[in-house]
Amino acid sequence: MEVVIVPDAAAGGELVANALARLVGHKPEALLGVATGSTPLPVYQALGAKVRAGEVDTSRVRIAQLDEYVGLPAEHPESYRSVLAREVLKPLGIGMDAFMGPDGTAEDVQAACEAYDAALAAAGGVDLQLLGIGTDGHIGFNEPCSSLASRTRIKTLTEQTRVDNARFFDGDIAQVPHHVITQGIGTILEARHLVLLATGEGKADAVAATVEGPVAAVCPASALQLHPHATVVVDEAAASKL
């Protein structure tokens, strides 16, 4: 595992955007796995600036979703599909036809999960998966004690994650769905390159467990230690317990 410590969130965004730009330069039809949350926003902003400056051509890039709330209509402003359309696809000039994600409103959620794993494989697999990290060490929505071999499936959110995410629902935890679909840890590990970005002191414990702790399901992100090409990009605050 490669650990890169940057001075601040903006520098992390620039560094990861450069990696994405290089990948797309080599492989214009790259399948990029993207994460929601506030941490990757500087990446999308920095990459969007490169697209607008004509430095990166995203006309053939494809985007894959990491996780989704169950039961939120796709057009709900906080469904991850809507969030990614707004924060990633639009600034990068990528159309929804190049987007793939699980159906959080499917009647048969398990079938939708299996269909998504199959679709990712049929698309040739994810070239680079960008990950954030929850304060409890979750990646995607794989909460602590998720199997390290898990596939895309339905999960129940912990109280902590619902509290953390209430800020996107007018601060009202009652509006945060209880269930989600997430790529499994085993699914995530199939991406060719994993890039986990963490910024701020609130992530310091989770980053220390990820990088220096044992590979263990209590810290799902520690599974990155098993991947042959994993990069952890952290600012000084998030690295403060390393």
44 binds ligand GLP (CB under 6 A): no
Q: Residue 95 and residue 80: Cα distance in Å, rounded?
A: 16
Task: Based on the residue annotation, tell me whether 2 is a catalytic residue of this protein.
Answer: no
The H-assigned helical ranges of the chain are 9-26, 41-52, 80-84, 90-92, 109-122, 159-165, 185-188, 204-212
Given the residues 117, 136, 164, 235, select the one marked as catalytic.
Answer: 136
Angle (CA) 234-240-242 rounded to 5° is 85
33 binds ligand GLP (CB under 6 A): no
Task: Based on the residue annotation, tell me whether 136 is a catalytic residue of this protein.
Answer: yes
Q: Which of 58, 129 has the CB closer to ligand GLP?
A: 129
Q: Which amino acid is at 229?
A: H
Q: Residue 109 and residue 20: Cα distance in Å, rounded?
A: 31
Given the residues 14, 67, 103, 164, select the one marked as catalytic.
Answer: 67
141 binds ligand GLP (CB under 6 A): yes
37 binds ligand GLP (CB under 6 A): yes
How many of the chain's residues bind ligand GLP (CB under 6 A)? 14
**15 CB-side CA count, 13 A:** 19
Q: Which of helix, strand or coil describes residue 5?
A: strand
113 binds ligand GLP (CB under 6 A): no
Given the residues 87, 117, 127, 143, select the one marked as catalytic.
Answer: 143
220 binds ligand GLP (CB under 6 A): no
35 binds ligand GLP (CB under 6 A): yes
Q: Give the residues lining the site for ligand GLP (CB under 6 A).
A: 35-39, 66-67, 132-134, 140-141, 161, 165
